[in-house]
Amino acid sequence: MKRAFREFVEEKDIKAVKQIWLECGWIKDIETDGIYVKDYFQASEDALVALINDEAECAVKSTKGIMQYLDERFDMAAITGVTTSRISRKLGFARELTAELVARQANAGYPLSSLGMFEQGFYDQLGFGTGCYEHWIKFDPATLTVPNPTRPPVRLGIKDSQAMHTAMCARTANHGSVNLLSPLFYETEMKMTENGFGLGFFEEGKLSHFIWGKSEGENGPLVVTFIAYKNKTQFLELLSLLKAQADQINQVCILEPGHIQLQDLLKQPFRSRGMTAKGQFSHESRAAAYWQIRILDLYACLAKTHLNGPSLNFNLTLSDPIESSLPEDSLWRGIAGDYAITLGTMSSAEPVHQTDLPTLKASVNEFTRMWLGVRSASELAISTSLSAEPGLLKRLDETLRLPKPFLGWDY
Ligand SMILES: CC(C)(COP(=O)(O)OP(=O)(O)OC[C@H]1O[C@@H](n2cnc3c(N)ncnc32)[C@H](O)[C@@H]1OP(=O)(O)O)[C@@H](O)C(=O)NCCC(=O)NCCS
């Protein structure tokens, strides 16, 4: 079947895209929450549709972000929607249209692309590698070991979305932290939160720290979907707000903030787990590696890679599976090739192979995971096709001793 892909045009496509989102179960009703589909597409930097009989049946979109890598910040394009209608499934539209979107991100100069996946495997075909395990923690807020609040927070609502977005972007940045830069995208996410509410604090006239989430009925669960803070005092103050709801709320669900072990702040977590195991409000912690990322520009990524470990030179034979999903006339064909790599205080990639260096063979999927610190070279060599002689793997492990990357922003 001939592929007809083009840029999303609101006047022509919005009705069809709402229908796609309805068929995907992303909205419940075209008339009510269907209005947010328009906002989501307006908040996108790039959006494409695939047509059947001149009607959009598959839609993909991407928004601007940044990612923290040690002390550096990288521009990053985030794929925030890949959707296919009921009549266009399993025809390759979604894969090829997403590949086209990724090529446009690369041509626009983004060094990185990332996404939240529906399943492992689909985006692997486009060179995306799986991130590290993130933890969803469900706990009884009464078991938090933090003190009660010492001052009342301010109620936050949709009208404060701009201030919340600013606070999210200014929050403490760990290795891997992501900010999505569109305030409209953030506002739309908030509007899509059923029974959404926020609690926060202002310092020097600016929202400094807050939580945003939703709560069901009288007893919860209370689900925290966004949390922003800049230091320990602010973080503990936000937890004290959760604890303060414990007379009514039996369960809080939260994506564990990167680099904090929430269990440290819970009283008798194993007892709680045992006591609530089969209950409605169980105490549990579930790990899932649900986001993926890929390098689009190897030179740009390595130019801003500053590592403390011993310096290392090696050849890299890089494969990139996206090539087979791109049309033959695509100018960008992925980043497969032979490179000479230097990793260290100053890192670089050169488009050559040097005869006297050992060689690392990897797909861009696995190389991205190693570079970001999701898993070490030695670990990836066990569970994936990444390979090198043992001596090189060991030296890669020593040079790329990175903190685990956590996004801190679910999308
Ligand atoms: C996700 C979605 C876009 C995929 O659409 P689709 O029509 O199946 O996609 P395509 O036809 O382009 O690709 C399907 C092919 O991808 C490959 N594929 C899909 N899932 C895979 C997986 N988990 N592992 C490996 N390959 C996979 C297969 O080759 C499959 O074809 P096959 O089953 O005939 O072998 C569609 O199911 C959808 O719209 N879902 C609802 C919205 C959603 O969840 N979007 C994803 C957000 S991250």
pLDDT in tens, 7-41: 999 999 999 999 999 999 999 999 988 889 999 99
* Average pLDDT in the chain: 96
> Which of 3, 23, 58, 84 to mutate to test ligand 1, by most ligand atoms within 8 A of the CB atom?
84
Other beta carbons within 10 Å of 31: 8
Out of 2.40.50.140, 3.30.1050.10, 2.60.40.10, 3.20.20.120, the CATH code matching 294-399 is 3.30.1050.10
Chain segment 332-386, per-residue pLDDT in tens: 999 999 999 999 999 999 999 998 999 999 999 999 999 999 999 999 999 999 9
Whether the predicted pLDDT of 80 surpasses 80: yes
CA of residue 122 to ligand 1 center, whole Å: 6
Chain segment 133-149, per-residue pLDDT in tens: 999 999 999 999 999 99
> Which of 18, 63, 89 to mutate to test ligand 1, by most ligand atoms within 8 A of the CB atom?
89
Integer Cα distance of 201 and 233 in angstroms: 12
The reply to whether ligand 1 has any atom less than 6 angstroms from the CB of 122 is: yes
Atom of ligand 1 nearest to the CA of 83: 39
In this structure, which residue's CA is closest to atom 13 in ligand 1?
A: 92
Whether the predicted pLDDT of 299 surpasses 90: yes
Atom of ligand 1 nearest to the CA of 120: 23
> Which of 122, 125, 291, 292 to mutate to test ligand 1, by most ligand atoms within 8 A of the CB atom?
122
CA of residue 118 to ligand 1 center, whole Å: 9
In this prediction, residue 309 has a pLDDT band, given cuts at 50, 70 and 90, of confident
The reply to whether ligand 1 has any atom less than 6 angstroms from the CB of 396 is: no
Using DSSP's 3-state secondary structure scheme, residue 233 falls into helix
- Do 380 and 130 contact (CB within 8 A), yes or no? no
Whether the predicted pLDDT of 2 surpasses 70: no
Whether the predicted pLDDT of 47 surpasses 70: yes
Instruction: Fold for 5-61+80-110, please state it.
Output: Aminopeptidase (3.40.630)
Average pLDDT over residues 324-332: 94
In this structure, which residue's CA is closest to atom 16 in ligand 1?
A: 122
- Do 87 and 1 contact (CB within 8 A), yes or no? no
Amino acid type, 189:
E
Whether the predicted pLDDT of 1 surpasses 80: no
The reply to whether ligand 1 has any atom less than 6 angstroms from the CB of 56 is: no
- Do 126 and 321 contact (CB within 8 A), yes or no? yes
CA of residue 143 to ligand 1 center, whole Å: 41
Chain segment 219-239, per-residue pLDDT in tens: 999 999 999 999 999 999 999
Using DSSP's 3-state secondary structure scheme, residue 105 falls into helix
Q: Is 194 exposed, middle or buried (0-12, 13-18, 19+ CB in 10 A)?
A: exposed
Structure tokens at 171: 């929050």
Average pLDDT over residues 263-279: 94
Q: Which CATH class is domain 135-288?
A: alpha beta
The reply to whether ligand 1 has any atom less than 6 angstroms from the CB of 83 is: yes
CA of residue 290 to ligand 1 center, whole Å: 16
Q: Residue ranges per domain, the chain?
A: 5-61+80-110, 135-288, 294-399
In this prediction, residue 3 has a pLDDT band, given cuts at 50, 70 and 90, of low
The neighbouring-strand residues paired with 318 are 337, 362
- 306 CB-side CA count, 13 A: 7
Chain segment 258-270, per-residue pLDDT in tens: 889 999 999 999 9
- Do 371 and 135 contact (CB within 8 A), yes or no? no
Using DSSP's 3-state secondary structure scheme, residue 42 falls into helix
CA of residue 86 to ligand 1 center, whole Å: 12
| Fold match flag (5-61+80-110 vs 294-399) | no
Whether the predicted pLDDT of 318 surpasses 70: yes
The reply to whether ligand 1 has any atom less than 6 angstroms from the CB of 23 is: no
Structure tokens at 210: 């807050």
The reply to whether ligand 1 has any atom less than 6 angstroms from the CB of 89 is: yes
CA of residue 94 to ligand 1 center, whole Å: 7
The reply to whether ligand 1 has any atom less than 6 angstroms from the CB of 90 is: yes
The reported pLDDT for the residue numbered 258 is 87
Q: Which residues contact 355 (CB under 8 A, 6 or more apart)?
A: none
CA of residue 20 to ligand 1 center, whole Å: 15
Integer Cα distance of 348 and 230 in angstroms: 32
The reported pLDDT for the residue numbered 33 is 85
- Do 211 and 199 contact (CB within 8 A), yes or no? yes
Atom of ligand 1 nearest to the CA of 118: 48
CA of residue 28 to ligand 1 center, whole Å: 22
Q: Which residues contact 382 (CB under 8 A, 6 or more apart)?
A: none
- Do 50 and 58 contact (CB within 8 A), yes or no? yes
Atom of ligand 1 nearest to the CA of 116: 48
In this prediction, residue 91 has a pLDDT band, given cuts at 50, 70 and 90, of very high
The reported pLDDT for the residue numbered 127 is 98
Nearest one of 101, 112, 132 to 370, comparing CA atoms:
132
* DSSP code of residue 146: S
CA of residue 354 to ligand 1 center, whole Å: 40
